[in-house]
Amino acid sequence: MAGHSLPRCALLCRVTLAPCPEHPDGRAGRGSESVAPLRPDGRRDAALWHGTRAAPPG
């Protein structure tokens, strides 16, 4: 991860397709996921997250 390691606490964020004319109820099977590292106070660590979110998987 580009020289960074994620802290022990992280938040998994999942965004799914919102309702649209083709899928009026949305679509749970389509979306994306990201992992946001958390600071000790439970808030997202934006600086660390921005440094790792573009890293390729693996």
**Each residue's pLDDT expressed in tens, for the chain with a length of 58 residues:** 444 555 567 777 888 888 888 888 888 888 888 788 888 888 888 888 776 555 555 5
Q: Given this model, what pLDDT does residue 53 score? A: 54
Question: Which of 31, 28, 35, 30 is CA-nearest to residue 49?
Answer: 35
Query: Distance between CA 55 and CA 23 in Å, rounded?
Result: 32
Q: Given this model, what pLDDT does residue 1 score? A: 41
Is the pTM here over 0.75, yes or no?
Answer: no
The domains of the chain are located at: 1-19+29-58
